[in-house]
Amino acid sequence: MTEELLINISPSESRVAVLEDGILNEIFIERHSKLGSVGNIYLGTVVRVLPGMQAAFIDIGQSRTAFLHVNDMQTLRPKLSAIEPHKPQNPAIDNTLDPDTTTLAMTTTTYQPPPSELIENRLYEGQRILVQVIKDQLGSKGARLTTDVSLPSRYLVYLPYGEHIGISQRIDGDERERLKTQLGELVHQVNLQGGLIARTAAENIPQSKLEEDIYYLLQLWRMVQARREQTPTHRRFELIYQDLSLPLRAIRDLIGEQTERVTVDNARVFDAIRHFAKEFVPAIFPRIQLYEGEQALFDVHRVEDDLKDALNRRVNLKSGGYLIIDQTEAMTTIDVNTGSFVGGRSLEDTVYKTNLEATHAIARQLRLRNLGGIIILDFIDMQEQQHRDEVLASLQEQLKRDYAKTNISQVSALGLIEMTRKRTRESLQQQLCEPCPTCGGKGFVKSAETVCLEIFRELMRCARTYNAPKKFTVVANSGVIDLLETIEADTVAEMEYLLGRPINLESDNRFNQEQYDILLD
């Protein structure tokens, strides 16, 4: 497999497309007016503590207060004796706003969890706290936070409040053991306080490069601490650290052994990327090129067409089958259909081949559309257990390329697979679309016939409610008026006879199909 990155820059947004064997598999979009906040570190203020939810709302300067759950506060657990005032010990907490606030930790042998782990014994309203965004604000939900700060570099992730050394799950065998040993030596050598995680890019990287990364991350953490200390105490929130821009993050996070080329269509960003790559990813430096063609970069590689297709419900398969993808607030459902494909030797064989092909398309669509949360895959029912196992194995194999963490269940008797995919940012649909003003997000509108029947009922109500109007005027969308003037013309005439008043019909295309007015003269 070969990989190429296309970086498109415009005055209002930056876009990074990941092509695998020439096919678009992933797209990252960053609107300059609406930058994502995942990875950013803030000094925020606790607005409200909710013991019932074991959570707190934190003001970090966004339109909605951010959400911090007790499970994301491991670093704030105080070490208390049997009974003593609760004073947070972790430097992530700043008590300057209310230094005398204390909470009594009660001893009990029957209460679970221990009082020291309850959120009301860790946080109080008005307290300032160092937090990092792990999930962007999505719809009506505020950003998700953690106090377990992590700082990424090209090869490593530094956990200032962590204690362990972790290795990417994509690295295995002897290389995994080598990294664990070398990182352990480096931690001891530099007397590192905190934990480290080796990223996938660290595979086969010499110890000297890992050491450079550690010193870079330590310097970055010192800068974070310095900015935190310099923040005036009267400020409710402050951005302490902001992650790199999208083009530079792409170079840091997406470059791999298969990456053959990085193409950029903006000279200024091209220079910035080359400068960044020369220092942090020198292997890719000679493969970074500036695109100066007359045709738009994304048009040359059909990225724009693929993006339009990625917003459709229907995804056609080469065999003639197709997928139907529906996103809701709670989950995403993907339905597999045979369509026009009848090429198998039997019905079971046709179903098996369609499902097998669908696993490739599903894995691609999950990445391309950035679908996250709970996902239900409705494969066509297969009778043979071997076919079910092979379809599941194919799906698992295709998802190995996905950077997002996924969990997959077995194929049920109904052909359903339940899975989850980690969601940290908006899906492609959420980024590029908004609810339809006509249907209100339902995805459908009342038929013209239904609206005509509503109009007839409303005319009867108006005749009973108001005293003797001279005439009625119905104002509606042209499609509805056309139906009233043609197929429903006899019904309109009958209504005029029953009401004893003329009914005038006027079309107004400012009205959508469900809207109408009845005017009384």
CATH number, domain at 64?
2.40.50.140
Alpha helices in 370-440 (DSSP H): 385-398, 428-432
| Dist CA 134 CA 190 (whole Å) | 28
Give the Cα separation of 437 and 421 in Å (integer).
30
Classify residue 489: in a domain, yes or no. Answer: yes
Spatial contact of 197 and 166, defined as CB atoms under 8 Å apart: yes
Please say which residue of 303, 333, 353 terminates a domain.
303
DSSP 202: G
Tell me, letter by letter, the H, E, C secondary structure of 32-99: CCECCCCCCEEEEEEEEEECCCCEEEEECCCCCCEEEEHHHCHHHCCCCCCCCECCCCCCCEECCCCC
Q: Say if 441 falls within a structural domain.
A: no
DSSP 171-193: --HHHHHHHHHHHHHHHHHTT--
Omega prior to 113 cis, within 30 of 0: yes
CA angle in degrees (0–180, nearest 5) for 447-448-451 = 90
Task: Read off the pLDDT of residues 326-367 as tens digits, 9 standing for 90 and up.
Answer: 998 889 999 999 887 666 578 888 889 999 999 999 999 999
Mark whether 316 and 288 lie in a shared domain. Answer: no
* 108 vs 379: CA distance, rounded Å: 52
pLDDT at 344: 59
Q: Would 121 be classed as within a structural domain?
A: yes
**In the listed set 432, 462, 487, which residue is the last one of a domain according to the structure?**
432
Q: At what angle do helices 246-254 and 267-280 cross, to 10 degrees?
A: 40
Helical segments of 256-310, H only: 267-280, 297-300, 303-309
Identify the pLDDT of residue 466.
84
Considering the domain boundaries, does residue 509 fall inside one?
A: yes
424 and 479 inside one domain: no
pLDDT tens per residue, range 235-282: 899 999 998 999 999 999 898 888 999 999 999 999 999 999 998 888
Q: How far is CA 304 from CA 166, 298, 315, in A?
A: 39, 6, 16
- Both 201 and 136 in a single domain? yes
Looking at the structure, do residues 185 and 218 belong to the same domain, yes or no? yes
Q: Do 398 and 479 sit in the same domain of this protein? A: no
pTM, 2 dp: 0.77
The range of the structural domain enclosing residue 63 comes to 42-74+107-241
In a domain? residue 88: no
Number of folded domains that form the chain: 4
294 and 316, same domain (yes or no): no
pLDDT for 421 equals 93
Q: Is residue 485 part of a domain?
A: yes
Contact (CB, 8 A) for 76 and 88: yes
Q: Where among 285, 303, 321 does a domain terminate?
A: 303
**Residue 287 located in a structural domain:** yes
Same domain, 57 and 197: yes
Tell me, yes or no, whether 177 and 326 share the same domain: no
Question: Are 459 and 476 part of one and the same domain?
Answer: yes
Two tokens, residue 318: 């080469």
| 400 lies in the same domain as 457 | no
The beta-strand segments (E) located in 373-498 are 373-378, 406-408, 416-421, 472-476
What is the spatial distance between Cα 165 and Cα 157, in angstroms, rounded to a whole number? 10
The pLDDT, as a whole number, for residue 111 is 40
Asked if residue 251 belongs to a domain, the reply is: no
132 and 161 both lie in a single domain:
yes
291 and 343 part of one domain: no
* Burial letters 339-377, b for 16+ CB under 10 A, else e: eebeeeeeeeebbbbbbbbbbebbbbbbbbbbbbbebeb
What are the per-10-residue average pLDDT scores of the chain (521 residues)? Answer: 93 94 94 86 95 94 93 59 36 38 34 77 94 87 93 93 89 91 91 91 90 91 93 92 92 89 96 92 92 94 94 92 90 90 75 93 95 93 90 93 87 84 86 85 89 94 83 94 95 93 93 92 83
